[in-house]
Chain A
Amino acid sequence: EVELLESGGGLVQPGGSLRLSCAASGFTFSSYAMSWVRQAPGKGLEWVSSISGSGGRTYYADSVKGRFTISRDNSKKTLYVQMNSLRAEDTAVYYCAKDFGDYGDSYPNYSMDVWGQGTTVTVSS
């Protein structure tokens, strides 16, 4: 069974840092791009970042560019996002998601077909 399990959320002060992890199982992790998507309380979904299967390509939403860094360790089947200079508006549930395919596929599919249950990040003093 394909599963994603996020961890690392919590309460952090404005300007602080946090690293989220997402442990994957049930599929060939390195063959798929992975993404982070967040959802602020009572709000809609917001794409945060994506990374190719090899880790060589990374992409970010303008709202987090320069502050967040996505990475992956394919040997550990784990996805990460390092979040620095956190702001109150970063408060959200952060979901890890498996992409349908990978960057460079002949027929790209930029949807996310498996999601974790999310981890909550609260930025507050």
Chain B
Amino acid sequence: SYDLTQPPSVSVSPGQTARITCSGDALSQQYAYWYHQKPGQAPILVIYKDTKRPSGIPERFSGSSSGTTVTLTISGVQAEDEADYYCQLADSSGTYRVFGGGTKLTV
């Protein structure tokens, strides 16, 4: 199954650490990718291959993986981090991709 489950919402105060989880059986075998999206804007890739950060993404964004759950961690959350966050995976050949339902981060 390629279903991905995310909590609908996470709320943190500025300066705290936010953790957003994504669960799914396929995550034990496939990489996860993370995006954030602010209202009216296109998504932005923040983590790829579970833990890697694209150039230009602040160091406060990090990813981890354990079994069938991956976690996006935002350390020292800032007001500008308030957005919807989506996890995504693909099958081993990239022939099928799926997004999680998204998590609204409120700061």
Binding site for B on A (CB under 8 A): 33, 35, 37, 44-47, 50, 59, 61, 95, 100, 103, 108-113, 115-118
Contact = CB atoms under 8 A, between A and B. Distances in A.
A108 B94 contact: yes
A35 B97 CA distance: 10
A61 B37 CA distance: 22
B44 A109 contact: no
B45 A59 contact: no
Nearest to A99: B94
B102 A50 contact: no
Interface of B: 31, 33, 35, 37, 41-45, 48-49, 54, 84, 86, 88-90, 93-102
Given A44-B86, A50-B97, A111 B43 contact: no
Most chain A CB neighbours (cut-off 10 Å) among B43, B54, B97, B101: B97
B42 A110 contact: no
Contacts, number: 63
A47 to B, nearest CB: 4
B94 A103 contact: yes
Contacts of B48: 100, 109, 111, 113
A15 to B, nearest CB: 27
Contact of A112 (B45, B100, B101): B45
A45 B102 CA distance: 8
Nearest to B34: A111
A111 B96 contact: no
Given A44-B86, A45-B35, A45-B86, A110 B102 contact: no
19 contacts: A37-B43, A44-B100, A44-B101, A45-B37, A45-B43, A47-B97, A50-B94, A59-B94, A95-B42, A100-B45, A109-B48, A110-B33, A112-B35, A112-B45, A113-B45, A113-B48, A113-B54, A117-B42, A118-B42
